[in-house]
Every structure is written in structure tokens, then in C-alpha cells.
Amino acid sequence: MSEPCKMKVEICLGTTCYVLGSFRLSALEEQLPPELADRVEVAGAACLGLCKDRNYGKAPFVRINGNRVVDNATIEKVLDALKEELEKCNE
Ligand code: FES
């Protein structure tokens, strides 16, 4: 059997993201549903550099597994993205 899939979530705590609401995302870890709870590692991060690039949309930003960016992030949006990622790694 292969290793269970693990995901890493970085919540940007740089000034722009923080002011625009990333501080609200600190509750994410407590709100992870059981299927995600032991697979997701949540960490705060310094400015991810995304707020300076218009291509990425609007702060606050969350990055998943170092490559997927959730813009205008809310707990619901991040949970949806995590569920999609989980399906991909279960394939
Ligand atoms: S402050 Fe979040 S990407 Fe810059």
C-alpha cells in the first residue's frame, strides 16, 4: 500500500494578507473534517510574494503543497481545494 497522502497548507501572514483577513484562517485547523484532519499540516508563512503579482488574484492567499494558490481565501474555499487535492492523490 502506498503512503497516505499528506498535504501542506501555508497561510500567508504577510501584512497585505493579514489585513485582508488571513488572520481569520487560523481556525482552519480546528475545522478540518475527519477525512482531512490527519493528512493536513497547517502553517503560517511570511509574505508568499503573491500580493505583488496581479496574476494571482486577490489577497488573502493560501498555498497548498507549494503549488496551488487559493486567492481571496476563506476557510470554505481552502477546504474545497483540499478536498479536490485529496481526491487527486487518492486516484
Ligand atoms: S502578504 Fe500575502 S502574499 Fe504578500
Query: Tens place of pLDDT for every residue, the chain, 91 residues?
Result: 567 789 999 999 999 999 999 999 999 999 999 999 999 999 999 999 999 988 899 999 999 999 999 999 999 999 999 999 999 987 7
CA nearest 22: which of 51, 56, 52, 65?
51
Work out which ligand 1 atom sits closest to the CA atom of 12.
2
According to the model, what pLDDT value does residue 90 have? 75
Q: In the CATH hierarchy, which top-level class contains the domain 7-86?
A: alpha beta
Paired sense of beta strands 62-64 and 40-45, if any: unpaired
Work out which ligand 1 atom sits closest to the CA atom of 15.
1
**Ligand 1 centre and the CA of 15: distance in Å?**
7
CA nearest 56: which of 73, 34, 40?
73
